Amino acid sequence: MEPYQFSVKQAKEFSAKNQNGPSELTQSLAKRIQNFDSKVKAYVHFDPTRVLLPKDGKKGPLYGVPISVKDNIVIESWETTCASKILTGFIPPYDATVIRKLREAGAVIFGKCNMDEFAFGSSCETSFFGPTRNPWNLDYVPGGSSGGSAAAVAGDLAIAALGTDTGGSIRQPASFCGVVGLKPTYGRVSRYGLVAFGSSLDQIGPITKTVEDAAILMNVLAGHDSQDSTSADVPVPDYTSFLGKSMKGLKVGIPKEYFVKGLDPEVNQAIQKTIGVFKDLGAGCVEVNLPNTKYAVAVYYIVAVAEASSNLGRFDGVQYGFRHETSSLRDLYFETRDQGFGAEAKRRILLGTFVLSAGYYDAYYLKGLKVRTLIKQDFDRAFERVDVILGPTSPTPPFKVGEKMNDPLAMYLSDIYTISANLAGLPAINIPCGFTEGAGHASPLPIGVQLVAKPFEEGTLFRAASAYEQATQWHEKHPKL
């Protein structure tokens, strides 16, 4: 086994045991990237000379573990672009809180992963730097927006990575790439240093090879941050204590609204098999109702774009990033933003500006907030009866590069099952649960299952996911590059 194939757990042990462990690990990964990332294009900024190894004396819980980071999380003195032309050349003068925590834990900040521009997308194709490919089949998308992070982890181009999730951007690419992806409860992980998309929805979370790795990372990432007013002052349990436990007595809700037209038969089949495994492991599965699910995508594309239109106002060429040089202020704004943003970013800024405009605010944004509350209440009611809610992460397996780029609505529907957890602020995890077998696909492509829990019950997700992972072999399969 090569070091680049390690899980976080293995990398930890390797670094702890070998004096040159951290350096061997990063070199092994760097070589792997050199050899194969030209195919996958998981990274946008990777410079082995900038990778700082942890000081020897300080052996934290992630000592020597290389972590790759989605390019919308700022790292001091590393270019951060959000895969957008408008931020090219922006060198942040500070570390995001999660980066500081990782460094303090002894982790090696390794490289920056590709993504959809400003996290706007579900395929990693809207990146200014070009699309990332799915390591399982390079003709297919890795999902998005954290497609670079998920592809890197799946292709053994990273030990683990940070992603961000506003409407499914960790879980959907994790599903497409056959890895574990956790979106924590809103407020569980500090957003300080995450370039905002939808501020009331965004969360940073881990993308890993195993459930255990996700728990190990969450032990470091979670917790209150005085620099983020939306971060919650709720105690952080030892997430690894939920691993390897029995699923007996766990109450699992299956929302009937998730199994409707539009759900791919192969995905449905994989989920039904997963439900079977859960039952075999002693979980009690019942049907639950989430009646407002049908409004989730619509509400999301009001709330998220409204916040995004405001959050992206600051990219105007005045202080940093790309600027169209001109003598008039008006032209500076118009030309910088016209040339700096891609088509999807412009579409969302326009939508968001529209829904917040005088005369439309009540009809769209305010109504959106009300429906958001209804969706939250759906989950509150369901969680009176069950511990976790189980369903597909994505309605389809990975699709081909270019397949949905000219059909934004079809693209938006990729997140139909993931969006609700963001609207309700709930923790949700994707774990691999099967592969496609049908004739439509050139080679087997991953399928993922999503588990959703009550706020701050990431532990319950780890318990269920860990028990399922131990009973199955999906996580042991790796793509050949």
Catalytic machinery residues: 70, 145, 169
49: contact with other proteins by CB under 8 A: no
199: contact with other proteins by CB under 8 A: yes
CA distances from 234 to 185, 214, 327, 464 (A): 11, 19, 51, 22
Site for other proteins in 342-371 (CB under 8 A): 353, 356-358, 361, 365
Select the residue interacting with other proteins from 20, 34, 35, 227 (CB under 8 A).
Answer: 227
327: contact with other proteins by CB under 8 A: yes
Per-residue binding string, other proteins, 66-85, x by CB under 8 A, is -------xx-----x-x---
Q: Where does this chain touch other proteins (CB under 8 A) — which range of 1-9, 55-63, 307-315, 405-413? A: 307-315
Give the residue carrying structure tokens 């000081």.
55
339: contact with other proteins by CB under 8 A: no
Q: Where does this chain touch other proteins (CB under 8 A) — which range of 54-62, 150-158, 239-247, 317-325? A: 317-325
Backbone angles phi, psi at 434, to 5 degrees: 155, 180
User: Tokens representing 262?
Assistant: 């539009």
Angle 174-177-183 (CA atoms, 0-180°, nearest 5)? Answer: 5
392: contact with other proteins by CB under 8 A: no
Q: How far is the CB of 117 from other proteins (least distance, A)?
A: 13
> Rounded to 5, what percent of the chain is helix, strand, coil?
40, 15, 45
User: Tokens representing 46?
Assistant: 């990777």
The CA distance from 192 to 205, in Å, is 13
233: contact with other proteins by CB under 8 A: no
# binding residues, other proteins (CB under 8 A): 43
322: contact with other proteins by CB under 8 A: no
- Closer residue to other proteins, CB minimum distance, 37 or 307: 307
CA 286 and chain centroid, separation:
28
Site for other proteins in 87-106 (CB under 8 A): 87, 90, 92-94, 96
Q: Where does this chain touch other proteins (CB under 8 A) — which range of 221-229, 398-406, 407-415, 444-452? A: 221-229
- Closer residue to other proteins, CB minimum distance, 227 or 377: 227
User: Tokens representing 218?
Assistant: 């969450």
User: Tokens representing 449?
Assistant: 């299952």
- Outline where 322-457 has alpha helix (H): 329-340, 343-356, 367-382, 408-412, 419-424
Q: How far is the CB of 333 from other proteins (least distance, A)?
A: 6
- 449 by DSSP, 3-state: which? strand
The CA distance from 340 to 167, in Å, is 24
Cis peptide before 145 (omega within 30 of 0): yes
Residues that bind other proteins (CB under 8 A): 73-74, 80, 82, 87, 90, 92-94, 96, 191-196, 198-200, 226-230, 306-307, 309-310, 313-314, 316, 318-320, 327, 329, 333, 353, 356-358, 361, 365
